[in-house]
Amino acid sequence: MSDESAWEKLKSYTDARIALGRSGGSLPTSELLKFRKDHALAKDAVWTELDVKLLEREIEGLQLSIVKLSSQAADRLAYIKRPDFGRKLDQESIARIACFPKTEHDISIILADGLSAQAISLHAIPFLKEFLPTISAYSLAPICLVNQGRVAISDEIGELFSSKISIILIGERPGLSSPYSMGIYLTYNPKAGNTDEKRNCISNIRTGGLPYSYAAGKLAFLTSEALRLKLSGVNLKDTFDSQLLKNDNRKQ
């Protein structure tokens, strides 16, 4: 196999920029234009605002109660410049949660824009349609829609709703091949001030990445294990893939 055909075969397995070719000492014009386009999409993803009204209508279609919240970042510029503001609720949002009955819940589900609001607009509802039937035995707090939110804001929300687990769906940092990728973080016993080793993460949920059904199955497994063992993060071992492999072998 020639070097050229070997690179082309490898290229078929990845979105990474390999085997781009060259024109003299530079990239071909077509590849340069693709790079500029992808760079522009990544930049736009960071600055795009979350379409809360659209998500609200879609979640209402799932027969779920909703509460709209905001972080302490007043706008997108503050969110980018001050990550700490995105990790805490503003006072109005805290008061809004306080209006709900003081009831313990198994799970709080949060949708936040993160660094790619479009990722949430594209993937959150299709994912929830796969995931919600797998957790029908558990009690849910109202679904939270958070403007200018970062991952850690899920700790404060879960604590205020007296939830055993908080799950946040959030737009991931855009890449040049994946500007609209969604990530999910699960935390058992959510409390303000938790650190990242207490979370489990499922990343790269997007077209060309993790399918909704697979991500929903993995999250359902982690949720049940977290509730059973009363822990999450580095202490919660993710054996989901090995169990899938065992089940496949049994079928064969």
pLDDT in tens, the chain (252 residues): 556 677 778 877 777 778 887 788 788 888 888 889 989 989 988 998 899 899 999 999 999 999 999 999 999 999 999 999 999 999 999 999 999 998 999 999 999 999 999 999 999 999 999 999 999 999 999 999 999 999 999 999 999 999 999 999 999 999 888 899 999 999 999 999 999 999 999 999 998 899 999 999 999 999 999 999 999 999 998 888 777 766 666 665
Range of the domain at 232: 52-237
Structural domain contains residue 115? yes
Strand partners of residue 171: 182
What total of structural domains would you count in the chain? 1
Instruction: With respect to residue 37, please indicate whether it lies within any of the assigned structural domains.
Output: no
How far apart CA 108 and CA 142 sit, in angstroms, is 7
Residue 19 confidence (pLDDT):
80
- Whether 46 has a binding-site annotation, put simply, is no
pLDDT at 185: 98
Q: What is the pLDDT of residue 29?
A: 87
Decide if 194 is inside a domain: yes
172 labeled binding residue: yes
Q: How many CA atoms lie within 13 A of 159 on its CB side?
A: 13
| 99 labeled part of a ligand binding site | no
Stated as kind and residue range, the H or E segment containing 210 is none
CATH assignment at residue 215: 3.40.50.11240
pTM here is: 0.89
In a domain, 7, yes or no: no
- The predicted structure's pLDDT at residue 146: 97
31 lies in some domain: no
d(CA 53, CA 138): 27
Q: What's the Cα-to-Cα distance from 68 to each of 71, 90, 93, 216, 244, rounded to whole Å? A: 11, 12, 8, 24, 37
Contact (CB, 8 A) for 147 and 75: no
Kindly state whether residue 246 falls inside one of the protein's structural domains: no
Residue in 189, 184, 200, 195 with CA at minimum distance from that of residue 237? 200
Report if residue 231 sits inside a domain.
Answer: yes
> Is residue 248 situated within a structural domain?
no
* Amino acid 72: pLDDT: 98
For 187, phi and psi rounded to 5 degrees?
-135, 125
